[in-house]
């Protein structure tokens, strides 16, 4: 079904909108001005243009979104701080759109997009990392509510989030994939406790979330009872697309940091390190060009599987490059800015000091799907290699060894 909205149509609508709503005034004004502008943009269907009319969009093609974003940016309009609400935009919103009821869509999407309400994701558990479907947080039905007990982990933004998307076990007596349901949890509800989770960089980007009798109204269930795994696929698919995504110039990202370190420190150069730097430069440029090609495939409507290559090589490269930077700098590279426990709301993998970059990069092959899981996915879904013998798919969840 081809979209009827053309680029010219869209530009006309944006011009009209901007004529009525002064972007500069909104950007220069207070929070209320900013919010009013964003709400108006949403109501005009210019938020995510590929969403349906009435939900912040115009039912336009996905490829037109950059047109809108660029036009608003050029006009100096305030943005919705996408770095802060990435989980809402990238994971919760597409899931609510596909699996939510009309009431859920109307309630959640607008404040999600404007940034009034921050979202977080309560999927991973200490006992369920790569094997997400093995999770054990229980949701028991009680009247019109569900009562939650369990522990979630690796939750970024939980300490500022208003809402969470959450996966819980509603039936332990069936095989693990069949006993899950998907909910929206009010993070301000009683029985929800958020604790910072300090990571090896010293910072605490993430949280642990303890659920002790926390209640969720059944109206905040997304999808049918027992369909949680299916609903979560929508979330995870969108997560993978969003990681390692943006277009970059040559020497963008971590390789630019290493190249600068090389250029700025002629005194530490050696032939061996030169070889290392050049090998990494080539790999980084290859990865960058691959990303460029993936985006062209997407734009051409032929989304190949190459996106998984992008995420996998992003992790490997960021680790190798940050390690090489430390090797290059020698003991000067061991000097950190601080070990204090910060709580950053946005993460810059290339930021701070060389030690931070090296340590933070270790997370890139764990968060959002380990590199091992990604290799399994490539081997089985892309190359069509056979699965390993499975021992966990036909047994009731409660009877699995753990």
Q: Which residues bind its own copies (CB under 8 A)?
A: 271-272, 274-276, 278, 388-389, 391
Task: Note if 239 is an active site residue.
Answer: yes
Q: Would you give the binding string for another protein spanning residues 31-70, x where CB under 8 A is met?
A: ----------------------------------------
Q: Which of 74, 239, 325, 372 is catalytic?
A: 239
Residue 128 interacts with which of its own copies, another protein, none, CB < 5 to 8 Å by class: another protein
Q: Which of 319, 352, 357, 368 binds another protein (CB under 8 A)?
A: 319
Q: Smallest Cα–Cα separation from 221: which of 189, 186, 185, 183?
A: 183
User: Which long-range CB contacts under 8 A does 311-314 form with residues at least 24 apart?
Assistant: 311/240, 311/243, 311/244, 311/368, 311/369, 311/374, 312/371, 312/374, 312/375, 312/378, 313/283, 313/287, 314/243, 314/244, 314/287, 314/364
Q: Which residue lies nearer to another protein by CB, 73 or 292?
A: 292
Query: What is d(CA 224, CA 170) in angstroms, rounded to the nearest whole number?
Result: 11
Q: Which residue lies nearer to another protein by CB, 110 or 352?
A: 352
Q: For residue 165, how many C-alpha atoms fall within 13 Å in the half-sphere facing its CB?
A: 29
Burial of 273 (0-12, 13-18, 19+ CB in 10 A): middle
Give the footprint of another protein on residues 359-388 (CB under 8 A). Answer: 359, 362-363, 365-366, 370-372, 374-376, 378-380, 382-388
Q: Which of 57, 163, 262, 321 binds another protein (CB under 8 A)?
A: 262
Q: Which residue lies nearer to another protein by CB, 97 or 132?
A: 132
Least distance between its own copies and beta carbon 277 (Å): 11
Query: What is d(CA 216, CA 142) in angstroms, rounded to the nearest whole number?
Result: 10
96's tokens: 């609510």
Tell me the DSSP string of 212-270: EEEEEEGGGEES-TT-HHHHHHHHHHHHHHHTT-S---TT-THHHHHHHHHHH-GGG--
Q: Which of 39, 195, 198, 240 binds another protein (CB under 8 A)?
A: 198
- Alpha helices, DSSP H, located in 21-101: 23-28, 31-43, 65-74, 86-87, 93-99
Least distance between its own copies and beta carbon 9 (Å): 55
Q: Are 210 and 195 in contact (CB under 8 A)?
A: yes
* Residue span binding another protein (CB under 8 A) among the ranges 20-28, 34-42, 164-172, 292-300: 292-300
Sign for the pseudo-dihedral over CA of 106, 109, 114, 117: positive
* Residue span binding another protein (CB under 8 A) among the ranges 40-48, 58-66, 89-97, 296-304: 296-304
Q: Which residue lies nearer to its own copies by CB, 67 or 273?
A: 273
Q: Which residue lies nearer to another protein by CB, 14 or 261?
A: 261
- Measured in degrees and rounded to the nearest 5, phi and psi for residue 328 equal -65, -45
Q: Which residue lies nearer to its own copies by CB, 272 or 384?
A: 272
195 binds another protein (CB under 8 A): no
151 binds another protein (CB under 8 A): no
Least distance between another protein and beta carbon 132 (Å): 9
Residues with a known catalytic role: 239
């Amino acid at each position: 079904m081809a979209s009827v909205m053309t680029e010219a149509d869209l530009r006309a609508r944006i011009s009209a909108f901007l004529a009525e709503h002064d972007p500069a005034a909104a950007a220069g004004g207070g929070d209320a001005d900013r919010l009013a502008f964003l709400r108006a943009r949403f109501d005009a269907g210019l938020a995510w243009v590929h969403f349906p009319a009435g939900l912040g969009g115009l039912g336009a093609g996905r490829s037109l979104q950059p047109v809108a974003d660029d036009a608003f940016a050029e006009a100096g309009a305030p943005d919705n701080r996408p770095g802060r609400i990435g989980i809402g935009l990238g994971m919760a919103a597409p899931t609510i759109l596909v699996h939510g009821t009309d009431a859920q869509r109307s309630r959640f999407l607008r404040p999600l997009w404007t940034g009034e309400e921050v979202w977080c994701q309560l999927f991973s558990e200490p006992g369920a990392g790569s094997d997400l479907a093995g999770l054990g947080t229980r949701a028991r039905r009680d009247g019109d509510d569900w009562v939650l007990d369990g522990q979630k982990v690796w939750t970024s933004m939980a300490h500022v989030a208003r809402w969470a998307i959450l996966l819980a076990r509603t039936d332990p007596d069936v095989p693990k994939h069949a006993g899950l349901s998907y909910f929206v949890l009010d993070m301000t509800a009683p029985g929800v406790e958020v604790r910072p989770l300090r990571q090896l960089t010293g910072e605490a980007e993430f949280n642990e979330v303890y659920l002790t009798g926390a209640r969720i109204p059944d109206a905040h269930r997304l999808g049918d009872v027992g369909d949680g795994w299916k609903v979560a696929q929508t979330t995870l698919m969108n997560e993978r697309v969003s990681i390692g995504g943006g277009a970059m110039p040559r020497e963008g990202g971590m390789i630019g940091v290493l190249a600068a370190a090389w250029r700025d420190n002629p005194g530490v150069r050696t032939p061996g390190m030169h070889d290392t730097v050049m090998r990494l430069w080539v790999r980084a440029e290859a990865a960058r060009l691959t990303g460029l090609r993936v985006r062209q495939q997407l734009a051409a409507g032929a989304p190949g599987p190459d996106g998984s290559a992008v995420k996998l090589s992003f992790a490997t490269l960021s680790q190798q490059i940050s390690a090489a930077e430390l090797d290059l700098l020698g003991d000067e590279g061991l000097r950190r800015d601080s070990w204090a426990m910060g709580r950053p709301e946005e993460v810059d993998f290339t930021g701070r000091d060389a030690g931070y970059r090296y340590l933070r990069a270790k997370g890139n092959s764990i968060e959002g799907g380990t590199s091992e899981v990604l290799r399994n996915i490539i081997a089985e879904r892309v190359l069509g290699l056979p699965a390993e013998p499975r021992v966990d798919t036909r047994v009731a969840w409660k009877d699995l060894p753990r």
